[in-house]
Amino acid sequence: MAVTQHIAAPAAAVWDVIATPGNLGQCHPFCDRNPVEQWPGVGSRDEVHYLSGWVFERRFVEWTEGVGYDLEIGRSGEDTSFVSWRITPIDNGSSTLRIAVYPYVLQSVPVAVRWIPHLLRVRPQLRSYLSSVVRGFEWYIERGEPVPRNQFGPHTWFSAAR
């Protein structure tokens, strides 16, 4: 599942934001805080403290200056999902930010049956989530101000306290 957002800023400006430690605190509409353990580059580690109370760890496994990074994300001691962030320049004043997630959810369910809950529940929720995240980065980059929490609507998984 991937979502791409056009941003009215050069790729270098987008990179400056996504490569800043703790950036999710300013750009992510469902992030309460984003403490950083190690930064930057391969081996970077941080946490995403969601408004729902969930805490996910991110471990960066690939880092390409000016282009993007890949990471694994999940709750401590649990399975992780693979996430890829990529910036593509369009022209001198605009670019796109693409986030692709390869979720671990339902991996223990046989392939023949897992596509139904994935198609009906996981995919729509993940698309909504990713759309809000990339729009949050667009908001911050284009306006220069932090994205308000739940700016694009609440999310079932990440907004409400659990």
pLDDT of the residue at 114: 52
Neighbours of 127 (CB within 10 A): 14
**85 within domain boundaries:** yes
**162 within domain boundaries:** no
CATH code for position 20: 3.30.530.20
Count of positions (residues) in the chain: 162
**151 within domain boundaries:** no
Q: Please tell me whether residue 24 adopts helix, strand or coil conformation.
A: helix
What's the gap between Cα 28 and its chain centre?
Answer: 8
Q: Exposed (0-12), middle (13-18) or buried (19+): which is 118, by Cβ within 10 Å?
A: middle
**150 within domain boundaries:** no
Q: Exposed (0-12), middle (13-18) or buried (19+): which is 39, by Cβ within 10 Å?
A: middle
pLDDT of the residue at 27: 98
Look-up: residue for tokens 């929720």?
A: 125
pLDDT of the residue at 117: 52
Please tell me the distance from the alpha carbon of residue 21 to that of residue 39, in angstroms, as a whole number.
6
**33 within domain boundaries:** yes
**161 within domain boundaries:** no
Contact assessment for residue 138 and residue 87, using Cβ atoms and an 8 Å cutoff: no
pLDDT of the residue at 157: 85
**156 within domain boundaries:** no
pLDDT of the residue at 82: 94
Structural domain boundaries enclosing 33: 2-143
**107 within domain boundaries:** yes
User: How many distinct structural domains can be found in the chain?
Assistant: 1
- pTM of the predicted model as reported, rounded to 2 decimal places: 0.90
Please tell me the distance from the alpha carbon of residue 22 to that of residue 96, in angstroms, as a whole number.
21
Please tell me the distance from the alpha carbon of residue 7 to that of residue 21, in angstroms, as a whole number.
20
Ranges of residues in the chain with a pLDDT under 70 are 104-122, 161-162
Please tell me the distance from the alpha carbon of residue 65 to that of residue 67, in angstroms, as a whole number.
6
At 112-146, the pLDDT tens digits run: 555 445 444 567 889 999 999 999 999 999 999 99
pLDDT of the residue at 121: 57
